[in-house]
Structure 1
Amino acid sequence: MGADQPKQFLPLLGQPVLLHTLRRFAEPALQVERIVLVLPADQLATWQRLCAEHAVEIPHTVVAGGASRWASVRKGLAALIDTSEGVVAVHDGVRPLTPFTVIHNTYAKAEAHGAAIAAVVPKDSVRGLSKEGSYALNRSRLRLVQTPQCFELNLLRRAYQLPELPTFTDDASVVEDLHPIQLVEGDYRNLKITTPEDLVLAEALLNAG
């Protein structure tokens, strides 16, 4: 991003990106019982200050994360030690535009099948790399993975008892050796704020309603 602060704290229409994301899961119609926010330990004070500055009243638990995404999700799960069952969603804090329907449908499919993730069809042609150069891939058989990624709670707990491997790129890759992963139609508006251009587009989409 090249910014002077972590991208989850960058202003989006005057409020931190992370606050927009938090609101998506606090939507009353979703009936999310508990929100756990995992942040690097050195960012906890900044988030506390931003919550005071923006009068954030959304109930949530804040947990210090680990050295990797895998370790951070594991710490987030540990905060649910008093919860015995249900469906848990893992979501990127820098996806502040996730539509209600995507969140709801991913939760619902995970409740029915144990594991579900949001994904979209690639818009561009895709090629794989080879020693000779590259080769075409069938775009219709590929999906771009988004979040939320939703799982039956105890299934996700079992998955995170396994050793961390470098091949783990997201929660679905942690779970897939234990359980099939269902796909839910995502949304191209479900941006992951990564570059300055993403922030500009997010502002335009929010302004457009």
Structure 2
Amino acid sequence: MEEYAIIVAGGIGSRMKSEVPKQFLLIDDVPIIVHSISSFLNYDDNINIIVVLPEAHIDRWKEIKSNYFSDIEIRTVSGGLTRSASVLSGLTLIKKDGLVAIHDAVRPYVSSRTISESFKSAKDNGSGVSAVELKDSIRELENDSSVARDRSKYVLVQTPQTFRIDDLKKAYEKVGVRLFTDDASVFEAAGYKVTLVKGSYDNIKITTPEDLK
């Protein structure tokens, strides 16, 4: 089955307290988004990559692409007002069935193992969503107090989140582009089963200045 990766780069840098969108900040003098895309190319240099980002950032992205991926076909599309709308924009560029991984542009350290396992699970089960176990104790907030919960019953969800393309498209057609925080939630809301795969604690999402350090 042909494999695709939609790299969602909608960040504006508000929590990073930076005028530069976080996907364009540098790690080892290389933009974060370049690291993330390179992770998928290291997994398979024939993978089909689609970058989704705000219209205002496309010119900057084109310059980056010219500097780092001049000989690689990477399709680009402007995103929507929400994450779900942005993912749907990326899906519209895929005209045939296969498997698609949705990945945050600001998760630059995703491993080939994680990517591979998510694709394998999507092929076998319809979905493959990377997640890791909690390390800390957790409490649920209830009004003005809190209640201890069993952390073994919870996981932290990451990306890539990988699906059979036709199923994910049908899920979006069914539930629309409401304010879902990830694609697994869209998939589940449409009645599909979400299958988890083992993620990695190294696969951090760079959101705040502490993450960048």
Same fold (TM over 0.5): yes
Q: Does 1:44 align with 2:58?
A: yes
Secondary structure at the aligned position of 1:145 is classed as: strand
Q: Does 1:125 align with 2:137?
A: yes
Q: What amino acid is the match of 2:75?
A: T
Separation (CA, whole Å) in 1 of partners of 2:69 and 2:188: 40
Instruction: Say if 1:188 and 1:53 are closer, same or farther in 2 by CA, change over 3 A.
Output: same
- Residue 209 (structure 2) aligns with: 196
Instruction: Say if 1:31 and 1:105 are closer, same or farther in 2 by CA, change over 3 A.
Output: farther
Q: Deviations over 1:93-124 (max 9, x none)?
A: 00000011011001101110001200001111
- Residue 7 (structure 1) aligns with: 22
User: Larger % of strand: which?
Assistant: 2
TM-score using structure 2 length: 0.87
Q: Does 1:23 align with 2:38?
A: yes
Shift of 1:55: 5.5
Q: Deviations over 1:113-140 (max 9, x none)?
A: 0012000011111110113511111111
Secondary structure at the aligned position of 1:50 is classed as: helix
- Residue 104 (structure 1) aligns with: 116
Matches for 1:1-209 after TM superposition, within 5 Å: 1-27=16-42, 29-30=43-44, 32-54=46-68, 56-81=70-95, 83=96, 85-131=97-143, 133-161=145-173, 162-166=175-179, 168-177=180-189, 178-200=191-213
**Identity across matched positions, percent:** 39
**Range that drifts further, 157-166 or 146-155:** 157-166
Q: CA RMSD in A?
A: 1.4
Separation (CA, whole Å) in 2 of partners of 1:198 and 1:57: 31
Separation (CA, whole Å) in 2 of partners of 1:153 and 1:31: 20
Q: What amino acid is the match of 1:181?
A: V
Shift of 1:172: 0.4
Separation (CA, whole Å) in 2 of partners of 1:125 and 1:18: 32
Instruction: Say if 1:105 and 1:88 are closer, same or farther in 2 by CA, change over 3 A.
Output: same
Q: What amino acid is the match of 2:38?
A: R
- Residue 205 (structure 1) aligns with: none
Separation (CA, whole Å) in 2 of partners of 1:170 and 1:149: 8
Q: What amino acid is the match of 1:121?
A: E
Q: Which runs of 5+ in 2 are unaligned?
A: 1-15
